[in-house]
A = this chain, B = another copy of it.
Amino acid sequence: DDAATRAVLSGMEETVGELMTPVTATLPANNTVAEALTFMVKSADVSEISYIFVTESDRLVGVVGMRDLILAKPSDALSSIMVLEPFAFQEDTPVKEAVSEVLYRHYRMYPVVDEQRHVMGEVRGWKLYERIASELSAQAGSQYGVAKEEQINTPVLSAFRMRHPWLQVNLITAFAAAFVVGMFESTIAQIVALAAFLPVLAGQSGNTGCQALAITLRGITLGQINDYPIRRLLRKEILLGALNGAAVGVIAGIAMFAYAQSIDSANPAMLGLVIFIAMVGACMGSGIFGVAVPLMLKRFGADPATASSIFLTTFTDIIGMGLMLFLATSLVL
C-alpha cells in the first residue's frame, strides 16, 4: 500500500521492465527455417512462443511470426523472411507510454531491448492492455482519493487508511470555502435567502467544472492533449461555461426572484440578477479550473487524476459562492 501511495504521489511510473518476462525464442539471422522449427520442437515452453526474435551479433534485427515460418521454405534463412527493424520497448519505457503504442499496434508480444538493442526480455500485449484497463478504472476513483488497489472486498481498515488522508485534505480545502462564506456573514444575516442558494451555486459550478475535468483527463489518458493547444481547450470550456451558466442561471435567477418576493425580501429583481451573473461567472471559472487542475497536477509530476475533484471543487465552491455573496453585497445591500 505504502509503495503504491508513494508511487502515485511522486508520479513514479511502473516501467515495461517490471512487466517483462524472459524471452522465449531468439535465433541468429543466419539460421534457416528448418533450424527454427527444430528449435521450436525442442523448446520446453513452445506454447509460449508467438514470434521468433532474430538477432545479429546479439542485437535485435528482425522478427519472424509463426505464419511466416509456415509459408517459407525449410532452407530459407531467417534473415530472408524476417520483418526488419521491429518495434521494441526499452526496459525503462514507462508503462503509460507503452500503452499508447499497444493501443495502436495490437501485437501479441513485444521485444524489450537495451540501448544497444540487445534483447532483454519480452512483454505480452495483454499485460499492457490489462494495465490500460487498470489505469482507466482507477481514474474514476482517484479523483476522490480512492487508491487504485481498493476493491469492494478490501478490508475496512485498509480502505480507511487509503481513503482518509484525502478526506483530511478535502476538509482543509472546505475550510477555504467556509472562510469565504464567513467573510460575508453580515450579508447572509441581512439576506438569509442567500444561504439557500449556496448549495445551488456550489452544485452547478462543481458539476460544470467536473465535466471539463473529465474531458481534460480523457484527453490526457488518450494522449490527445500533447498536440492540442491548451489555449483552445480553455477557450472552449470558458465558452461552454458561459452557455451552460446562462441557460441554468436564467432558471435559478427566476427561482431566486420568485422566492425572494414570496418572503418579502428587499429587491427581489436585483437578487435574481445576482444569481444569474454569479452562475455565468462561476461556470466560466469552473471551466478554467476543470482544465487547469489536471494539467497542474501533471506538471507537478503527479497523476493528473489524483484528488483532482477535491482540488477542483474547492476552486468552484469559492468562485460560485464567493461571487454570489460578493455581488449580493455590492449590488443589493
Using CB atoms and an 8 Å cutoff, list the residues of chain A in contact with chain B.
37, 40-41, 46-47, 49, 65-67, 69-71, 103, 106, 108, 124-126, 129-130, 132-133, 136-137, 139-141, 143-146, 150-154, 156, 159-160, 163-164, 166-168, 170-171, 173-175, 177-179, 181-182, 185-186, 188-189, 192-193, 195-200, 202-204, 206-208, 210-211, 214-219, 221-222, 224-225, 228, 233, 236, 239-240, 243-244, 247-248, 251-252, 255, 259, 305, 309-310, 313, 317, 321
Contact = CB atoms under 8 A, between A and B. Distances in A.
Given A143-B210, A151-B218, A178-B199, 9 more contacts: A103-B130, A126-B129, A151-B219, A159-B236, A160-B244, A166-B207, A167-B204, A168-B247, A177-B199
B204 A178 contact: no
Nearest to A143: B140
Contacts of A255: 175
B67 A40 contact: yes
The 3 closest A-B pairs by CB, nearest first: A141-B214, A66-B66, A136-B136
A133 B99 CA distance: 11
A165 to B, nearest CB: 10
A322 B47 CA distance: 63
A137 B214 CA distance: 9
Nearest to A314: B203
A325 B248 CA distance: 27
Nearest to A177: B199
Contacts of A219: 151-152
Contacts of A193: 182, 185
A208 B164 CA distance: 9
B309 A210 contact: yes
A177 B252 CA distance: 13
B66 A133 contact: no
Contact of A140 (B170, B214, B225, B310): B214
Given A67-B40, A67-B46, A228-B153, A163 B199 contact: no
Given A67-B66, A103-B133, A317 B163 contact: no
A198 B193 CA distance: 14
A285 to B, nearest CB: 15
Most buried by B among A46, A103, A140, A156: A140
B215 A152 contact: yes
A247 B169 CA distance: 12
Contact of A200 (B174, B218, B233): B174
- Scoring A173, A188, A217 by chain B CB atoms within 10 A of each residue's CB, the highest score goes to A188
A45 to B, nearest CB: 11
A189 B191 CA distance: 9
27 contacts: A46-B71, A65-B66, A103-B130, A126-B129, A129-B133, A140-B305, A141-B218, A143-B214, A145-B207, A150-B218, A152-B236, A153-B228, A156-B240, A163-B244, A168-B247, A168-B251, A170-B204, A170-B207, A173-B203, A178-B196, A178-B200, A185-B195, A188-B195, A195-B198, A198-B198, A199-B317, A210-B309
